[in-house]
Amino acid sequence: MSDRVVLAYSGGLDTSVAIGWIAEETGAEVVAVAVDVGQGGEDLETIRKRALACGAVDAVVADARDEFAEQYCLPAMRANALYMDRYPLVSALSRPLIVKHLVKAAKYHNATAVAHGCTGKGNDQVRFEVGIGALAPDLKVIAPVRDYAWTREKAIAWAERRDLPIDVNKKSPYSIDQNVWGRAVETGFLEDIWNAPIEDVYSYTADPAVPRDRDEVVVTFDKGVPVAIDGETVTPLQAIQELNRRAGAQGVGRLDMVEDRLVGIKSREIYEAPGAIALITAHQELESVTVERDLARFKRQVEQRWSELVYDGLWFSPLKDALDAFVDRTQEHVSGEIRMVLHGGRAVVTGRRSERSLYDFNLATYDEGDTFDQSLAKGFVQLWGLPSKIAAKRDQQHGA
């Protein structure tokens, strides 16, 4: 039996050409693996047939939308994960899931290598290869686009010479990656960071400047998991899809940012993540009501590091696992309801309630019913400021 290579297959030009190229260059049989993470477009059966028509000896297709929502998007939401405080890890979240399915297929088919279509400039090469190394360190990696200087022109010429069943003429001016958690757009005229994005860049969101009625939504959480929208029970996938629809219709979740890539360059990216931004906004607000102050302060540090680890391709790292355990512990009391208004490109919280709330009306009020003993505050303030007061006196004495 020939060696086998498992290829991360999207159904597009580069990975379709890669099937025949890998077989020709290495003599190995190619098994194509396509994973549905809610990216839309062609159905899995169409993609499977194309892979076989392009020369794959087998094509594995997986509907992983629920798995992606529950095991990847949900942990990101509970961690309030925003890389550089803005980016909700759209592409970064899907890569470890795809890696898991690639490794599973490689083991099943006794493959000796895994291949991907990433370039040498992006983050995805790291996410794929570091993930594969963590789960199956004996597997080799083949990266034709990066390691053999493929260009689109070379790929088109290859496809035409071999009469591959793919459309090589249509070319979007953008590079797009999308899944149920969001959509990422780059290249083309967007590479000039002075150029403003135009409306045809967007797909998940409507123009927030167009007048429309506002939309009020109530999201119910149980231990940090969204379990209902407007009283209707939902799965994590359904929660994301429903808020993609409703928040997207209000233009929520548009981001235009220059981000720091792992490889050391800065990249201009346009993101759309209506469901992700709405859910993170609601979750953050419920945490402000139910999570104790010092725990919340430390969690914000964890959230930043968690986001960096995932962005940098370290989903399967020991530190990421340890931080997951911490985040899980913080969610014990994050249950309740958040009311938001979706309108004009924003998700604005207007109400919150929880049986696990730490907000005590009688302590907070300045009106009748106030149970806070203000006489205790004087001594507290004096003791709290004592170290600073002592240091200030020393500095004055010694002319500091």
Binding residues for ATP: 8-16, 117
Report the 10 Å Cβ neighbour count for 4.
Answer: 18
Residue positions forming the annotated binding site: 8-16, 87, 117, 119, 123-124, 127, 175, 259, 271
Active-site residue flag, 124? yes
367 noted as active-site residue: no
**Closest to 246 (Cα-Cα) out of 262, 257, 234, 259:** 234
Task: Identify the bridge partners of residue 257 per DSSP, sorted by sequence position.
Answer: 269
Q: How far apart (Å, rounded) are the C-alpha atoms in residues 362 and 54?
A: 70
- In the annotated binding site for L-citrulline, the residues are 87, 123, 127, 175, 259, 271
User: What is the rounded distance in angstroms from the CA atom of residue 175 to the CA atom of residue 118?
Assistant: 12
Using DSSP's 3-state secondary structure scheme, residue 322 falls into helix
Distance of CA 153 to the CA centre of its chain: 31
The one catalytic residue among 4, 14, 50, 254: 14
How does strand 225-229 pair with strand 232-233? antiparallel
Cα separation, 50 vs 400, in Å, equals 75
Q: Spot the catalytic one: 124, 267, 268, 352.
A: 124
Tell me the CB-side half-sphere exposure of residue 156, using CA atoms within 13 A.
8
H helices within 42-151, ranges in order? Answer: 44-53, 65-68, 74-78, 90-108, 124-135, 144-147
Residue 14 known to be catalytic: yes
Q: One of 58, 66, 146, 175 is an active-site residue; which one?
A: 175
Nearest Cα to 117, choosing from 71, 152, 85? 152
Q: Residue 59 CB: number of other CB atoms within 10 A?
A: 24
Closest C-alpha among 46, 50, 41 to residue 19: 50
Q: Where are the beta strands (DSSP E) in the chain?
A: 4-8, 29-36, 58-63, 113-115, 140-142, 175-179, 182-186, 215-222, 225-229, 232-233, 254-260, 266-272, 336-343, 346-353
260 is catalytic: no
Q: Give the count of alpha carbons within 13 A of 314, CB side only.
A: 15
Nearest to 197 by CA among 211, 186, 209: 186
Give binding residues for L-aspartate as ranges: 119, 123-124
Whole-angstrom CA distances from 277 to 50, 80, 109, 247, 325 are 35, 9, 39, 9, 23
Catalytic residue among 4, 65, 95, 352: 95
Which residues are identified as catalytic? Answer: 14, 95, 124, 175
